[in-house]
Chain A
């Protein structure tokens, strides 16, 4: 009896490594967090001269003048939010439709090829989208969307205001469409995974009581994945916010507030990409880093929102 107790109380082999293992795991986790915090702090320090010089005006002014060193970020901030939101509005129904098709209607022969094609789309480098957008998409967009839209707009209406611009394929809406194409595969792939996660029992019983596919999707699948789907949308939005190269090529790169859908604008990421390499005065560099800080905050807010939705989803 006593021998057995002694046997049990003896520390198992390798237990000495346990604290070290714990410490290692803890270090890995904190390293990631401190890298993130360090990034945020260094962006804040780098951008501080701009924040302190221009104060709150940095967020509301649309002046961006590297010659006189006067900077305001309102144009790029608005451009970023508008293009990302438009991209989301365009791509959401398509991503949803593609995912429903893949899970509900797709013949099983096609299921894999289409799924792979969507994943491949996600892997295309953004510079490729930029070149394609500028040289292929923009001329077609000008001819078949911008010109007809501008000609069809009634004089003096809000449509005329929204479609003012140069019909050469550049501008806010072009950038939004390119962004929509870029975030589409992410959202479609996530939606598909979510739909596949709906228990077969639920769907089959719905079909069993005579529901049509539309009714099944609408009243069974959608409510089941609602929260996670919002999270997936937010992840797509997060990617759209930070997208740089593709937008830079087609958005027209004008600082200041865009006046219409076909007007040139700029986003935070495109402004940084355009000017950072040649920013010669310290204030110019600082203003660009401050832009980076703002983008960080916006993206962080979106991702945090996504997390909170995704976190609650796992029932």
Chain B
């Protein structure tokens, strides 16, 4: 009996030791499901686990700066200046997007067409009814109910709001001047729901409402999305292929530190409100083996994780971008002056 107890005790100790060797990361909630899925498979294959805490992008940046985690994750890329100031490297992992959703009785999904400028005017409160001539001009032949527009936005600070408001700022000078693009802004009008489900609930309950959610959330919950006009003037629907198009047409090579928002990118099939989610690591790794283990995990994810990412409605990075990121790993992430990553 005593022997079993002692054996169990040491087994438990050994288990903790294995846990202690797990990789630790913290940050954005948006990629948390795919990181968890990857971690599960990776653990089964290699025995190395990943402990990812989805505490939000802001928290992820704070934690990696204070070095309490091996990597941080953020939906909002840091500027090259910010990266240099804290000695960080960032690279994209998967792509996602934001989709406007509406509640217009009798209207099927993606039938309504909007442009960035009109969407911004709706969110500014300048366009108040669905019967507005600027909306019907984009939708010839479509019968729209002349309902008042109820604007719904995220109440909590989030990367989704960051992408959405940054896009509106890009397309509408008034929005850029009065509101701007950030995780949380001073919304000129509308009601705030907590999280994607909070926004979706308010939109569902209010005829004439418009809101915005992550694409994956809209798809999984079959919310009626909107077709948006992209840079080439074409109207596109939110779909995985159109997010890939945005990621592929973006010029990553010319973006120092991968500081690139995939908003309003060129290309006929490009969805205009697209964004990548990023991982942050220190350039100088005090704990070399741990840094290498993190790189190995993401290298493995780049190689074998695409199918799982697609299943969860994330969009994998184009191969060219992955190759470029691998070069960055070799050139930028070092331990004691030596490159950790020797190519995959």
A contacts, CB < 8 Å to B: 63-68, 134-135, 138-139, 142, 166-170, 248-249, 252-255, 264, 270, 273-275, 277-280, 284
Which of B57-65, B266-274, B311-319 forms contacts with chain A?
B57-65
What residues of B have a CB within 8 angstroms of the CB of A66 in the complex? 157, 182-186
Once the chains bind, are B61 and A168 in contact (CB under 8 Å)? no
Closest to B189 in A: A254
Once the chains bind, are A138 and B205 in contact (CB under 8 Å)? yes
Would you list 6 pairs from A and B whose C-beta atoms are within 8 A, ordered by A residue? A65-B186, A67-B180, A166-B150, A264-B191, A275-B156, A279-B58
Closest to B57 in A: A278
8 tightest A-B contacts by CB?
A278-B157, A253-B192, A253-B155, A65-B186, A168-B206, A277-B56, A67-B180, A252-B191
- In the assembled complex, the Cα of A275 lies from the Cα of B209 at a distance in Å of 24
Once the chains bind, are B58 and A280 in contact (CB under 8 Å)? yes
- In the assembled complex, the Cα of A279 lies from the Cα of B185 at a distance in Å of 11
Once the chains bind, are A278 and B184 in contact (CB under 8 Å)? yes
What residues of A have a CB within 8 angstroms of the CB of B205 in the complex? 138-139, 142, 168-169
Given A134-B201, A168-B150, A278-B156, A254 contacting B58 (CB threshold 8 A): no
B contacts, CB < 8 Å to A: 55-59, 61, 150, 155-158, 179-187, 190-194, 198, 201-202, 205-206, 209
- In the assembled complex, the Cα of A255 lies from the Cα of B209 at a distance in Å of 19
Once the chains bind, are A168 and B209 in contact (CB under 8 Å)? yes
Once the chains bind, are B186 and A274 in contact (CB under 8 Å)? no
What residues of A have a CB within 8 angstroms of the CB of B202 in the complex? 168, 170
Checking A67, A277, A280 against B156 with a beta-carbon cut-off of 8 angstroms, the contacting residue is A277
Once the chains bind, are A67 and B182 in contact (CB under 8 Å)? yes
Task: Tell me the smallest distance from the CB of B132 to a CB of chain A, in Å.
Answer: 18
Closest to B151 in A: A166
Task: Tell me the smallest distance from the CB of B12 to a CB of chain A, in Å.
Answer: 31
What residues of A have a CB within 8 angstroms of the CB of B180 in the complex? 67-68
What residues of B have a CB within 8 angstroms of the CB of A167 in the complex? 206
Given A66-B186, A68-B180, A274 contacting B157 (CB threshold 8 A): yes
